[in-house]
C-alpha cells in the first residue's frame, strides 16, 4: 500500500513538472517572456511599479498595433506588461491566459472578451481578488470590469453599412465574415456589429444579409470567401471584421477575377488593405485605433492603481477610408509624416 502511494506521489510530481516545463516553453515560444520585459525596464533606469497582463485575440496587424500602444504606455508609466495572444482565435486559450494571470496575482489585467457569458465569471473572479480588469475591443458590460476601451461596435457596423449603401445604392446581397465568432458562444460585440450594419441599411429596399465564421486559422477566410462565391452566386458584397479576413477575401477576389463585381468592405489599415483600396479591389475599410486602445488600456490601469478610479468608457474612435480620401489618410501615418518632415 505504501509502495503504491509512493509511486502515485512520484507520478504526480513528474506530471506537474512536465506541465510547468510545457507552459514555460509554450509562453517563451509565443514570445511571452516577462523577465525580458522587466530586464528591459531596469536597463532603462527604473524598476517597474506594476505588472499588468494583456490578453488579446488572434495575432494580426490590429493586435500588433495594440501591443505597440501597450508597450509605449508601459515605458511612459514605468510598468511591466506581459502580452498574451493566441496565434488563432481560441476561446479556451484566452480563458487559460486570463486564469493564469489571476493565479499569478498580477496588478491589473487587460482582456479581449470573445464570449461575455464565459468570460464574466473569470473577470469577476479577478476583481474579487483585487485585480482591476479593463476590457478592450470587445465588451463585457454585465461583468465587474473597471472600464472598456475601444470603439463602439454598433457604430463600427453602422459605418460598414453606410459604405455598402454608398457603393451599392438600392440593392445588395451581403455576406458578413465574422472573424472571432465561435459557434455556441454569446458574442455580444459581433451581434451589435451586425445590428449596426442592419440599422444603416434599414431603408435599402433590396438587401439580404448572411453571416459566416472564419475562426479556425489563417487560411479560413480564403476558404470561406471561396465557399460564399460558389454556393451563393447572388452575393455581391462582402463585409469583413478583421484585417486578416479582409486581406484574405481581397486576394480571393483577385484570384477569381471578381474585381469590380464583388464589393469588399474591410476592417483595419494594414498596408495590404490600403494598397487594395488604391487598386480598387477593396471599396473601403473601417479603421479603429488599435494603438490608442493599447495605450489607453494601460493608462487606465495605472489610473486605477494610483487613484482607485478611471473613466468607465474610453472611446478611441474610428475612421472610414475609401479611394476618395486614402491619400490624405496616408499622409497622416507616422512613417509618412516623418518622411515629409525629413524632405522639408
pLDDT classification of 206: cutoffs 50, 70, 90: confident
Tell me, what's the pLDDT at 25?
45
pLDDT at site 38: 43
Asked whether residue 35 carries a pLDDT value surpassing 80, the answer given is no
% of the chain beyond a pLDDT of 70: 79
* Per-residue pLDDT at 62: 84
Type and span of the H or E element at 115 = none
Q: How far apart are CA 90 and CA 94, in angstroms?
A: 6
What's the pLDDT tens digit per position in 162-184? 999 999 998 999 999 987 555 54
pLDDT of residue 10: 57
pLDDT grade, residue 21 (50/70/90)? very low
Q: With cut-offs at 50, 70 and 90, classify the pLDDT of residue 187.
A: low
Confidence class for position 7, pLDDT limits 50, 70, 90: low
Taking 80 as the threshold, does the pLDDT of residue 339 lie above it? no
Which pLDDT value is given to residue 88? 72
Structure-model confidence comparison of residues 279 and 60, the more confident one: 279
Which range (72-76, 119-123, 154-158, 214-218) has the least confidence?
A: 214-218
Instruction: Name the more confident of 114 and 239.
Output: 239
Query: Which cell numbers hold the place of 17?
Result: 513538472
Rounded Cα distance between 281 and 130, Å, is: 49
Fold of 153-287+321-334: Rossmann fold (3.40.50)
Nearest residue to 88 (alpha-carbon basis) of 215, 225, 267: 215
Question: What are the strands of the beta sheet with 284-287, ordered from one edge?
Answer: 206-213, 171-178, 237-240, 263-267, 284-287, 319-322
Assess whether pLDDT exceeds 50 at residue 245: yes
Please say if the pLDDT value at position 41 is more than 90: no
Where in the chain are all domains bearing CATH 3.40.50.2300?
A: 31-151+290-311, 153-287+321-334
Top-ranked range on mean pLDDT: pick from 13-27, 162-176, 219-233:
162-176
Which has the minimum average pLDDT: 24-33, 80-89, 157-166, 228-237?
Answer: 24-33
Which parts of the chain fold into alpha helices (H)? Answer: 2-29, 34-43, 61-77, 91-103, 116-128, 153-168, 188-200, 220-231, 243-255, 271-278, 290-307, 326-330, 334-343
Would you place residue 278 in the very low, low, confident or very high pLDDT band (cuts 50, 70, 90)? very high
Least confident range of 30-44, 271-285, 317-331: 30-44
Question: Is the confidence at residue 4, as pLDDT, over 80?
Answer: no
Q: Is the pTM of this model over 0.85?
A: no
Res 201 pLDDT > 90: yes
| Higher-confidence position of 79 and 218 | 79
What are phi and psi for residue 210, nearest 5 degrees?
-120, 145
pLDDT of residue 213: 84
Confidence of residue 87 (pLDDT cuts 50, 70, 90): confident
Name the burial class of residue 38, with classes exposed (0-12), middle (13-18) and buried (19+) by CB atoms within 10 angstroms of its CB.
middle
pLDDT at 20 over 50: no
Beta strand 51-55 with 80-84 is parallel
Class of domain 31-151+290-311: alpha beta
- What's the rounded Cα separation, in Å, for the pair 288 and 166? 20
pLDDT-based confidence at residue 74 (cuts at 50, 70, 90): very high
**Distance between CA atoms of residues 95 and 114, nearest Å:** 9
Amino acid at each position: 500500500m505504501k509502495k503504491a502511494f509512493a509511486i502515485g506521489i512520484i507520478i504526480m510530481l513528474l506530471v506537474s513538472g512536465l506541465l510547468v516545463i510545457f507552459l514555460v516553453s509554450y509562453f517563451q515560444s509565443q514570445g511571452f517572456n516577462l523577465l525580458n520585459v522587466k530586464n528591459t525596464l531596469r536597463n532603462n533606469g527604473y524598476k517597474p511599479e506594476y505588472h499588468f497582463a494583456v490578453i488579446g485575440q488572434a495575432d494580426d496587424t490590429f493586435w500588433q498595433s495594440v501591443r505597440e500602444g501597450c508597450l509605449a504606455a508601459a515605458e511612459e508609466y514605468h510598468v511591466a506588461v506581459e502580452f498574451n495572444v493566441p496565434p488563432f482565435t481560441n476561446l479556451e486559450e484566452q480563458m487559460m491566459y486570463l486564469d493564469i494571470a489571476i493565479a499569478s496575482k498580477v496588478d491589473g489585467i487587460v482582456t479581449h472578451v470573445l464570449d461575455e457569458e464565459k468570460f464574466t465569471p473569470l473577470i469577476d473572479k479577478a476583481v474579487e481578488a483585487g485585480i482591476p480588469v479593463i476590457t478592450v475591443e470587445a465588451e463585457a458590460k454585465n461583468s465587474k470590469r473597471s472600464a472598456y476601451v475601444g470603439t463602439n461596435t454598433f457604430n463600427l457596423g453602422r459605418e460598414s453599412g453606410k459604405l455598402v449603401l454608398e457603393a451599392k445604392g438600392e440593392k445588395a446581397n451581403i455576406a458578413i465574415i465574422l472573424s472571432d465568432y465561435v459557434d455556441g458562444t454569446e458574442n455580444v460585440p459581433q451581434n451589435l456589429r451586425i445590428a449596426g450594419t442592419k440599422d444603416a441599411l434599414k431603408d435599402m429596399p433590396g438587401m439580404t444579409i448572411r453571416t459566416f465564421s472564419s475562426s479556425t486559422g489563417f487560411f479560413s477566410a480564403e476558404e470561406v470567401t471561396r465557399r460564399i462565391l460558389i454556393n451563393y452566386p447572388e452575393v455581391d458584397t462582402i463585409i469583413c471584421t478583421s484585417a486578416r479576413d479582409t486581406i484574405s477575401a481581397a486576394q480571393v477576389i483577385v484570384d477569381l477575377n471578381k474585381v469590380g463585381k464583388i464589393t469588399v468592405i474591410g476592417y483595419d489599415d494594414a498596408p495590404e488593405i490600403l494598397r487594395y483600396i488604391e487598386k480598387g479591389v477593396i471599396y473601403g475599410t473601417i479603421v479603429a485605433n488599435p494603438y490608442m486602445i493599447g495605450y489607453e488600456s494601460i493608462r487606465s490601469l495605472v489610473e486605477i492603481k494610483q487613484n482607485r478610479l478611471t473613466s468607465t468608457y474610453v472611446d478611441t474612435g474610428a475612421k472610414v477610408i475609401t479611394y476618395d480620401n486614402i491619400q490624405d489618410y496616408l499622409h497622416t501615418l507616422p512613417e509618412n509624416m516623418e518622411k515629409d518632415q525629413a524632405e522639408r
